[in-house]
Structure 1
C-alpha cells in the first residue's frame, strides 16, 4: 500500500540538487548587491557587482539552471524585496534607466550557459572569456542601451557611449567568472548537462 501511495505523489521536474544550486546562485546575486552601487556618467545606471553573479550563474550552472537562478532573483525583487544594489526593488529599477540592463540579465545568462555547455568538459579559458563577454557585456549592454532609449531622452549615440564607464569593471567580472568557472568545471565535471 505504501508503494502505491508513493507512486501517486507528483514528482518534481527539477531535481532537488538543481533547486539547491538555483537557490544558492539567486542568493549569491543578492549578496553581491550588498556593497551598494556607484552611479557614474549621465545615464543614471549604477555600477554593481550583481552582474558578476549573473555571469557566474550561466558559466557554472548552464543555461537552464543559470536562467532559473536569475529569474528567481528577479521574481523576489518584483514582489518587493530590496535585493538590488542600493536597496532597490525590481519595480523601482524597471521604472528607471537601468530597466534594460536588468531585463538583459535573462538573455545574457541564457547565452552564457548555452555556449558554455558547448565547450565542456575542457572549458578553454580563452573561449570562456569570449562567451562571458558576449553574454555578460554584449547581450546585457544591447538590452541596456535599448532600455536607455526607452526610459531616458538620450539619443542613440549617447545611449551607446554611456556604456563606456562600465567596460573596465565588467571586463574584470568576465575574467573572474571565467577563472572561477574553469576551476569549478575541473573539480565537478558534468555539472552542466545538455
Structure 2
C-alpha cells in the first residue's frame, strides 16, 4: 500500500484522493474540538484544533491544508464544531475572531514550509517541520491578539500578554504533532511532493 500511494504521488494526486485527505483531516479537527479548556477572563479556550490544523498543513501541504481549514470553518457556519461547541459565526463576532481567521493564514504558511522538507534528510525535515509548527503558532497568536484588540478593547501589550497561558500547552501539543507528521511521512514519503509548487 505504501508503494502504491507513493507512486500515485509521483504522478500527481487525483482529485478524489485529495478530497479524501481533506475530509479525513477535517473530521479529525472537528473531533478534537470536543477537547476545550477555557482560560482567562475572556474565556478563550485552550484547544487541540489549532495544532491539529497545523498537523494537517505538515501532512498535506499548503493547498490541501488550506482546504481543510476552509472546510472546517464552512462546516462551522452550519454546525457548532469549533472548540467549546461554538459556530464560526459566533467566533467571528467574539474575541476569538483573530484565532479563527488565522487558520486561513497559518495553515498554508506552515504547509509551505513543511513541503520544503519533502525530500530532505531526516534532520532537515525535523528542522523544517519544527519551524512550520512554530511559525504557524506564532501567526495564530498574532492574529488572536489582533482580534482581542479589535473585539475586546484590549491594548496591544495586554492582548499579547493574554497569549501567555497558551504557550506551554501549545508547544507540547506541537511537539506531538511534529512527531506524528514525521511518522506519517516516513510511511508515505511521497505525500508532499505535489505540494511544493
* Same fold at TM > 0.5: yes
Residue 45 of structure 2 aligns with which residue? 46
Residue 107 of structure 2 aligns with which residue? 109
Hey, what's the Cα distance between the residues in 2 that align with 1:25 and 1:172?
Answer: 20
Say how many residue pairs are matched: 179
Off by >6 Å, runs of 4+ in structure 1: none
- The gaps in structure 1 that reach 5 residues or longer are 1-12
Deviation at 1:14, TM superposition (A): 6.3
Describe the superposition over 1:115-157 as per-residue Cα deviations: whole angstroms up to 9, x where unpaired: 111112235223311221111x111111111111110111110
Indicate whether 1:155 and 2:163 are aligned. no
Contact conserved, 2:102 with 2:139, CA < 8 A, in 1? yes
Residue 169 of structure 1 aligns with which residue? 169
Residue 92 of structure 2 aligns with which residue? 94
Hey, what's the Cα distance between the residues in 2 that align with 1:159 and 1:54?
Answer: 23
TM-score (norm 2): 0.87
Larger Rg over CA atoms? 1
- The gaps in structure 2 that reach 5 residues or longer are 1-12
Aligned-residue RMSD, C-alpha:
1.4
Indicate whether 1:179 and 2:179 are aligned. yes
SS in 2 for 1:86: coil
Describe the superposition over 1:4-42 as per-residue Cα deviations: whole angstroms up to 9, x where unpaired: xxxxxxxxx96100100000011011000123x221123
TM-score (norm 1): 0.88
Hey, what's the Cα distance between the residues in 1 that align with 2:157 and 2:104?
Answer: 25
